[in-house]
């Protein structure tokens, strides 16, 4: 096969390759409406998540569903200014009571990270992976660190 034919084959093959997921950029999101604050919810992909990697837990604000958080994704939701308690659906029936209370000021952007937490940190006995020893928590994240991660994640838009 000649170099031209080989190049055309490679071009055709790469054209059929799966497209990479849409990466996130805060510039993609519309501006924040007056009186509202924006909350970005991130969940990194982490091989140490073990059995929770495939889960997409629901995030809640004051008990109301906000959106699901699959691994390696980011989404946002705008809220009226005020104080909100954020929680995340536990994994494997291991409720932790873990919550993060955040005061949202109008016009601000805030960042929360959903991450796995070893259940022994909440008083459950250590177990094997088949016993679902992990659960989820939601924690405030620094804006600088969050912005770096957002650029590498799949963007889900507004929940």
Cα–chain center distance at 99: 16
Cα–Cα distance, 153 to 37 (Å, whole number): 22
Query: Where in the sequence is the domain holding 141, given as residue range(s)?
Result: 23-158
User: Does some domain include residue 71?
Assistant: yes
Cα–Cα distance, 142 to 97 (Å, whole number): 22
Q: Model-level pTM greater than 0.85?
A: no
User: Does some domain include residue 149?
Assistant: yes
Q: What is the per-residue pLDDT for 68?
A: 95
In this model, does residue 3 exceed pLDDT 70? no
**Count of structural domains, the chain:** 1
Helix segments in the chain, DSSP class H: 3-15, 143-150
Interval 112-127: pLDDT, tens? 999 887 766 666 666 5
Rounded CA Rg of the chain? 20
Cβ neighbours for 54, distance < 8 A, ≥ 6 positions apart: 71
Interval 100-156: pLDDT, tens? 999 999 999 999 999 887 766 666 666 555 555 667 889 999 999 999 989 999 999
User: Does some domain include residue 60?
Assistant: yes
Q: What is the per-residue pLDDT for 144?
A: 94
User: Does some domain include residue 154?
Assistant: yes
User: Does some domain include residue 85?
Assistant: yes
User: Does some domain include residue 133?
Assistant: yes
Could you give the percent of the chain with pLDDT greater than 90?
47
The CB-side HSE value for 102 (13 A sphere, CA atoms) comes to 28
User: Does some domain include residue 7?
Assistant: no
Cα–Cα distance, 74 to 152 (Å, whole number): 10
User: Does some domain include residue 68?
Assistant: yes
- Least confident window among 44-53, 79-88, 108-117, 148-157: 44-53
Mean residue pLDDT of the chain comes to 79
């Amino acid at each position: 096969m000649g170099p031209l034919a080989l190049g055309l084959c490679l071009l055709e093959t790469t054209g059929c390759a799966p497209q990479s997921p849409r990466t996130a950029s805060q510039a993609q999101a519309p501006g924040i409406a007056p009186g509202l604050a924006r909350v970005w919810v991130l969940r990194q992909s982490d091989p140490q998540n073990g059995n929770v990697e495939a889960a997409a837990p629901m995030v809640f604000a004051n008990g109301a569903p906000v959106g699901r958080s699959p691994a390696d994704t980011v989404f946002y939701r705008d809220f009226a200014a005020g104080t909100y308690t954020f929680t995340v659906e536990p994994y494997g029936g291991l409720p932790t009571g873990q919550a993060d209370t955040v005061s949202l000021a109008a016009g601000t952007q805030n960042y929360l990270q959903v991450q796995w937490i070893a259940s022994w940190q909440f008083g459950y006995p250590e177990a094997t992976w088949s016993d679902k020893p992990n659960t989820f928590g939601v924690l405030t994240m620094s804006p600088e660190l969050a912005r770096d991660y957002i650029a590498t994640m799949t963007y889900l838009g507004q929940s």
